[in-house]
Structure 1
């Protein structure tokens, strides 16, 4: 009830004068909301990767902001490490409410423009559920799989038409809603060879019906309108990965596909460079696949080769500089090297060096308050591993710069022991030095303080096998 009183008061304050002034321009919109369990005291609003403003939350964790000279379309609001999008058109007054502990699922819109945005967020959540269903369906033969996808698409189209009939729509909303349906459908087709259990991916590609990928001839690979849009970018990533299979198969004799191979990844960068002309879309795809390769690689020579290919094709100097630095850090953490002597702080506020903690086979994991799901799931997983592998020292480091008390409180509130929990003294420097990306990154070190694997992942199906190897080394 309090929240709706807030909405009423806010609207009266901002819109009460409209009756007395009929000359207010249409090119504006309001966005506001309330954030439960905030990670920071601000929200960042942006459009097309350009920041509009950083808006502070008030004492009740709420805000209201007017966007003048509105360019209708999709806007992004970020809080902590999470973000979501909102569709804004002239005279919209959209407010939202969310809980950071369940960011997307708790998000609800109210106000003028709420119906279309609630439709879009619900469609997003349904698509996430559909992904799990698609993984199971991918084991079917191609023709049967396509029938299931067609049924899912028809169901979405029916819901979309019912929404339009009940609430009406605008041309912009229709464009986005239909793109959501189509690009989700296309993506599900593009992932089929990868998720199908068969190891010979080239053979799987040859088994699909002739019209299975017929939609490709109508795809705009340089669509500036959707260039920052999740579904479009997800489709492009799946699409170029899939088409690179054919390119790769043309000069390899291996029937068993390895998506981590240098050759395949170089082929994919080559295809992106030849297929896409828009500089931003091309640079984003090149960056995405390059950093994905690097974050899983343990070979300095391969890292240098992929970086060389990337820098020759990308026009984004900022990203080139970042990935060059990232590659250098990764290569310095190669197998057999020693861990840099990073400075830590324990939860008693005492400083220490990271290498003083390595006196047995050791696993080092990282977490952030802004990635709540990973924080919770990784700590639960680590508690299980500690029980199974007492020979290994499991160290966990918080990467945030919010200070000790906030992360300490979060750990204690979830019942997690502070033993072997630390925080970086200088987070930015430490993250660069240890090349911490993605957040699941885990470093394995033997009893001689030599790095065994700097790109492990505690959620990998191979992780426990790696732990056993570490113990027996």
Structure 2
């Protein structure tokens, strides 16, 4: 409360000053906030993937920033590995408060423009919770499924209409929120064949009502105004995958569909290239799907085929370089390869070579404060695995680069043991060499430090089968 009172007084000082010209157009807005448990000493503000400024936090982890020559719309603020959006319009003075340990759930806005942004975050969190419900609904017939998601859309529309009636928001906000409702609904339609329990996805797709995808004729697959918004980009990914399923089925000669097949993924990259003309949106979709495929594959030939197709179609040189290095790193971690030499720092601040701590079959996993839920779940899972497989060594490495004290404090907060816990001396280099994506990536090595599986996952149903095979050698 003290924070908000002091911040409001500060804003009054800004906004209470006389305008240079009473008739001048107000083309600026203020954004400020306080970050609890900050990961870095700054916040990055951007719009449409263009960085506006890097704003330093003060001694109390707060900031206040004036955006001049405001172009109203969705802005992103990033801190550490997390980001969230804020809708800014002229004369807004939006303040927020958040805790990095519970980023989205702790985020609260105040000040002028806060009501629309609190509503926006509330709908974002509701959409996250709704995803699990949608998975269950997808097991229904297409007709019954549509009735349920129609009901969800109607409920959202009614709630939004009540908000509009009470608060009279701008046309920009109303258009944006209506698009949010629509694209959330459309996404639910697009994921249906993939989440339905039936194995023959092409047949499931053929079984839906004739008008199930009628909305597609009105979709803009190149909407720059929404390209920075989660629900729109999620819809595009689902829709592209679904449309590819139709095209892939036409030449798959009756083979069972597999989402990880090279042929299907090549078809998807080709469809994106032909369907999406906006360069930024196209590059984003191409990168996401290529990275997803590569992160699941250990096949060098297939990886090269997907990478080659991606490089032909993308115009983002930085992303192309990143994925080329990623593929090289994956290839260097194939079965039988020697684990790369990397320097670790133990929790007693001693430097050790990664190879020097491997004296028996080992499982190497990673964590980051940027993926807090994974940190908690993975350490709980590791407790179980350590008891179950004492013959294995479980090495856990923090990849943040924030230093020992912060990661030790987090481990202590959950009573997690530090034994076999380390940090990378050079995390950026290590992340690149070990192809560190996604954060669930786990590397299994034998007692000589040779890779058994460079792309495993302690939560995978095949993980225990893999380690038992290693122990029974």
2:396 is aligned to: 396
Task: Quote the offset at 1:351 in angstroms.
Answer: 1.2
Instruction: Give the secondary-structure state (helix, strand or coil) at the position aligned to 1:461.
Output: coil
Contact 2:94–2:113 at 8 Å: present in 1 too?
A: yes
Aligned twin of 1:251: 251
Pair 1:220 & 2:220 matched: yes
Cα distance per residue 1:57-113 (max 9 Å; x no partner): 222221111101000000001111111000000000111111111111111111111
Q: Deviation of residue 23 (structure 1)? A: 5.7
TM superposition shift of 1:214: 0.7
**Range moving further from structure 2, 18-27 or 205-214:** 18-27
Distance 2:23 2:470 in 1: 72
Deviation at 1:187, TM superposition (A): 0.5
Specify the alignment match of 2:420 in structure 1.
420
Matches within 5 A, 1:29-40: 29-40=29-40
Unaligned runs of 5+ in 2: none
Give how far 1:174 is off.
1.0
Which ranges of structure 1 fall in alignment gaps of 5 or more residues? none
State the alpha-carbon separation in 2 of the partners of residues 464 and 14 from structure 1: 60
SS in 1 for 2:30: strand
Offset, 1:20? 8.3
Following superposition, the deviation at residue 22 of structure 1 comes to 3.1
The match for 1:348 is 348
Aligned to 2:442: 442
Match for residue 59 of structure 2? 59
1:99-144 deviation line (CA, Å, top 9, x unaligned)? 1111111111111111111111111111111111000000000000
CA distance in 2, matches of 1:24, 1:410: 51
Q: Is the 8 A contact 1:202 1:255 kept in 2?
A: no
Question: 110-119 or 248-257: which moved more?
Answer: 248-257
The reply to whether residue 296 of structure 1 matches residue 296 of structure 2 is yes
Secondary structure of the corresponding residue to residue 335 of structure 1: coil
Q: Once the 2 structures are TM-superposed, how far is the Cα of residue 301 of structure 1 from its aligned partner? A: 0.8
- For the 8 Å contact 1:95–1:110, the answer to whether it is kept is yes
Instruction: Give the TM-score of the pair, scaled to structure 1.
Output: 0.97
Distance 1:229 1:313 in 2: 23
For residues 310 and 19 of structure 1, the distance between their equivalents in structure 2, rounded to whole angstroms, comes to 52
TM alignment of 1:290-329, pairs within 5 A: 290-329=290-329
Tell me whether 253-262 or 107-116 shows the greater mean CA deviation: 253-262
For the residues of structure 2 that align with 1:21 and 1:58, how far apart are their CA atoms?
Answer: 32
Alignment of 1:191-270 (within 5 A): 191-270=191-270
Please report how far the alpha carbon of residue 468 of structure 1 lies from its aligned counterpart in structure 2 after TM superposition. Answer: 2.2
Q: CA deviation at 1:33?
A: 1.2
Q: Which residue number corresponds to residue 168 of structure 1?
A: 168
Distance 2:20 2:265 in 1: 62
CA RMSD after TM alignment: 1.4
Q: Name the SS for the 2:18 alignment partner.
A: helix
Cα pair distance change 1:254/1:453, threshold 3 Å: farther
Residue aligned with 2:104, SS: coil
SS in 1 for 2:84: strand
Q: For 1:74, what is the secondary structure of its paired residue?
A: strand
Q: Secondary structure at the match of 1:191?
A: helix
CA deviations 1:188-210 (Å, max 9, x no partner) are 11111111110000110011000
The CA distance in 2 between the partners of 1:273 and 1:21, in whole Å, is: 49
Q: Deviations over 1:159-192 (max 9, x none)?
A: 0111000000211101110111011001111111
Name the counterpart of 1:460. 460
Structure 1 position 280 matched with structure 2 position 280: yes
State whether structure 2 residue 430 is matched by structure 1 residue 430: yes
Structure 2 distance, partners of 1:21, 1:271, is 53
- Aligned mates of 2:180, 2:211 — CA distance in 1: 21
- Cα distance between partner residues in 1 of 2:238 and 2:37: 35
Could you tell me which residue of structure 1 aligns to residue 471 of structure 2?
471
The SS at the match of 1:39 is: coil
Q: CA deviation at 1:465?
A: 2.5
Separation in structure 1 between the aligned mates of residue 459 and residue 120 of structure 2, nearest angstrom? 31
Alpha-carbon deviation of 1:12?
2.4
Contact 2:361–2:446 (8 Å) recurs in 1? yes
CA contact (8 A) 1:399 1:427 kept: yes
* 2:365 equivalent to 1:383: no
- Kept after mapping to 2: 8 A contact 1:199/1:255: no
Please state if 1:22 is matched with 2:49.
Answer: no
Distance across 2 between alignment mates of 1:178 and 1:454 = 44
- Secondary structure of 1:105 counterpart: helix
SS at match of 1:54: strand
C-alpha contact (below 8 Å) 2:39/2:402 kept by paired residues: no
Please identify runs of 4+ aligned residues in structure 1 that moved more than 4 A.
none
Offset from partner CA, 1:35-61 (integer Å, 9 cap, x none): 122212211111111111111122222
Q: Distance in 2 between matches of 1:4 and 1:226?
A: 31
Contact 1:365 1:441 in 2 (8 A): yes
